Structure 1
Amino acid sequence: MNTRNVHDRLNGIEAFVQAAEAGSFALAAERLRLTRSAVGKSIARLEARLGVRLFHRTTRQQSLTDDGQAYYDRCVRALAELQAAEAELDSGRREPQGRLRVTAPLVFGRHCVAPVLRELAGRYPQLEVDISFNDRVVDLIDEGYDLGIRVGDLPDSSSLAARRLGLQTMGIGASPAYIAAHGRPVTAQEMQGHAGIIYARGGQDKAWTMQDEDGRATQLRLRPSLRLDDLQAIADAAIAGAGLAWLPCWMLARYVGTGELEVLMHGDRLAAHDVHAVWPQARHLPSKTRAAIDALAARVPAMLAP
């Protein structure tokens, strides 16, 4: 069997596994960076070679046949062995290379993650960095990501490894115009009833949590003037005078420096959140992933300093 036939077989198997796990040819094509037609043809050739039908297909959905499920189980084990072998070889390389897929929260990703990984890509010409910005919790394994950045508590998981990058502290700010019109509240009691710009996602408001004098967690009660699901939009609204904003200190500091916002409260009494890099647990960590984690661990703590 020549190398081209081997390559075609492996491509067909990878397309099949991705289609089975994604539940659609279109999503598999997106993950593989191919057209839907190319994925469909690759799987059709695989079915013809095997002499079996791997998928039940309808206009609305697709599912594995019994033969397809049995073949999928074998393929997953085989690909895992190949990936482990590649990672073991890759771990001995001096320079990272290949495609690194990263998912990060919208604003934190743009301001704190992207600059670091952009410099990393510039340092290593054979490294291709692909960053997706999204505030939802992404399933790294199901969606094919090498690395994720998480702000907040991590769920227990035997399939993921993690490295702490720092602590994101919070602050409350408002524009000079809002303060001039409504006063400068500096205690929790004084803030009661003030207009608040609330982060809300999936119909749930993100609480403004602080510790009282006795160290007990309590929530600030403000009058919601706006509900937004993007931190940058919240900062913009605060600058426009819409109310008080609960923002990460690293972000609030940017606008304090320009005079667009003023700090009303910050420090240890406000809730803070750990920031982690997370990645799929593996025996051998690819050099591209290790390089990205090390770069983030070296740079992010200083960015998070209050």
Structure 2
Amino acid sequence: MDQMVALRVFRTVVEQGSFAAAARRMRLSPAAISKNISALEDQLNVRLLNRTTRRMSLTEPGRRYYEQVARILDDLAEADHSLGPLQSQPSGLLRVSAPMTFTLTRLSTAIPGFLMRHPDLSLDLQLDDRRVDIVKEGFDLAIRGSDRLEDSSLVARRLMTLHHVVCASPDYFARRGMPRVPQDLRAHDCIRFTLSGHVSEWEFTRGAETVRVPIEGRYRVTSGLAIRDALLAGFGLNLIPRQYVAGDIKAGRLVTALDDWVPVQTAIHAVYPSRRYLLPKVRAFVEFLVDETRDED
């Protein structure tokens, strides 16, 4: 058995979804595909694929092995290309996961220019505030509003910090009163961003003093844009990144409170699988993110 061929066969079978499709993709016979998979399983002494005449699926060991094999083959491909002129030319499909509100308020107007500078590159940008599994879901890169990585094999490039403010509409504060100290928030309708790390408690500091305030509210939502709409409607108050509402604050549509206290901050990172050779498309997008967020910290 040529192990490198067998590994490429295994990866192609998984990604194509069947032995027949893999055979067509690799221009091999179905018998050769099956022989390589069987030889690989015999060498590892483990079953990688469950297959019947109609279906094929990964076993649990097979899924873990596939993730490692895919990374190894990608690294080898990058090593092969690193000596050639194409190494500096971003190309192919770049899949990125990013939080919706951050992207729409900070990046989306600049992305067309990035793509114009790289005509051989296509971008699949998934705007979703949930925390995706980069490797399992096939993303090249994710933008994260947290220092915590779910996998030690991932690396993070710090981009900027989002500075939060407590704010609401003038009408809301006229009705409910302006909080003077963080503890006053217990008597307010707090709109809660359920994907944040401070959904049930907000933390503030002033000098050497730190205050943590449990918050309550009837409205829980997973979108920063929806929170902004609720603030403008006078429904409640929120601890929100200033960047998301800077225009509304300047125009007087929203008013900040507790300005002498420093609330929690959120570090924004570009997160991607740790590889010896970064794909040119990933490197180019990370550099784009660094440039676009350079003046925000």
TM-score, normalised on structure 2?
0.77
Instruction: Tell me, in whole angstroms, the C-alpha distance in 2 between the residues paired with 1:163 and 1:179.
Output: 39
Distance verdict in 2 for CA 1:74–1:259, change over 3 Å: closer
Relative distance call for 1:60 and 1:221 in structure 2 (3 A) is farther
Residue 241 of structure 1 and its aligned partner are, at CA, apart by 0.8
Distance in 1, matches of 2:168 and 2:68, equals: 58
Alignment of 1:247-262 (within 5 A): 247-262=240-255
Q: Distance in 2 between matches of 1:205 and 1:111?
A: 22
Provide the aligned C-alpha RMSD in A.
3.6
In structure 1, the residue corresponding to 2:285 is in which secondary structure? helix
Q: Deviations over 1:66-91 (max 9, x none)?
A: 9x89x969964873454333552478
Residues 23-81 of structure 1, C-alpha deviations (whole Å, 9 max, x = no match): xx4xxxxxxxxxxxxx6740475644334585325999833599x89x96996487345
Question: 5+ residue gaps in structure 2?
Answer: 1-5, 39-48
Cα separation, 2, equivalents of 1:250 and 1:210: 19
1:105-124 correspondence to structure 2 within 5 Å = 105-124=99-118
Match of 2:167 among 167, 173, 194: 173
Q: Look up the equivalent residue of 1:247 and give its one-letter code.
A: I
Distance of aligned partners of 1:81 and 1:156 in 2 relative to their CA distance in 1, 3 Å threshold = closer
Counterpart residue number, 2:14: 17
**Distance apart, 1:131 and its partner CA:** 0.8
- Cα pair 2:194 2:221 within 8 Å, conserved: yes
Q: How much does 1:208 deviate? A: 1.6
Match for residue 49 of structure 1?
32
Q: 1:190-269 counterparts in 2 under 5 A?
A: 190-201=184-195, 205-216=199-210, 218-266=211-259, 269=262
Q: How far 1:146 sits from its partner (Å)?
A: 1.3
3-state SS of 2:235 partner: coil
CA contact (8 A) 2:20 2:30 kept: no
| 2: CA distance, partners of 1:228 / 1:109 | 18
Aligned residues with identical type, % of pairs: 29
Deviations 1:279-302 (A, max 9, x none): 111111122211111111112132
Gaps of 5+ in 1: 1-8, 20-24, 26-38
2:167 counterpart SS class? strand
CA contact under 8 A between 2:67 and 2:135: conserved in structure 1?
no
- Count of matched residue positions in the alignment of Structure 1 and Structure 2: 274
Give the conservation status (yes or no) of the 8 Å contact 2:147–2:269: no
Q: Secondary structure at the match of 1:114?
A: coil
The CA deviation at 1:129 is: 1.3
Q: Hey, what does 1:140 align to over in structure 2?
A: 134
**Could you tell me which residue of structure 1 aligns to residue 58 of structure 2?**
63
Cα separation, partners in 2 of 1:90 and 1:170, compared to 1, 3 Å: farther
Contact 2:165–2:263 (Cα < 8 Å) also in 1: yes
| Kept after mapping to 2: 8 A contact 1:116/1:295 | no
Q: Distance in 2 between matches of 1:270 and 1:125?
A: 42
Aligned-partner Cα distance in 2 for 1:74–1:142 = 11
Q: Which residue of 2 aligns with 1:125?
A: 119
SS at match of 1:210: strand
Contact 1:103 1:147 in 2 (8 A): yes
What is the TM-score normalised by the length of structure 1?
Answer: 0.75
Identify the range of structure 1 (188-197 vs 152-161) with the bigger mean alpha-carbon deviation.
152-161
Give the direction of change, closer, same or farther, for the CA distance of 1:112–1:240 in structure 2 (3 Å limit): same
Residue 97 of structure 1: how far off its partner (Å) = 1.8
> Which SS does the other structure have where 1:224 is aligned?
coil
SS of structure 2 residue aligned to 1:238: helix
Distance 2:283 2:259 in 1: 34
Indicate if the aligned counterparts of 2:75 and 2:275 stay in contact, CA closer than 8 A: no
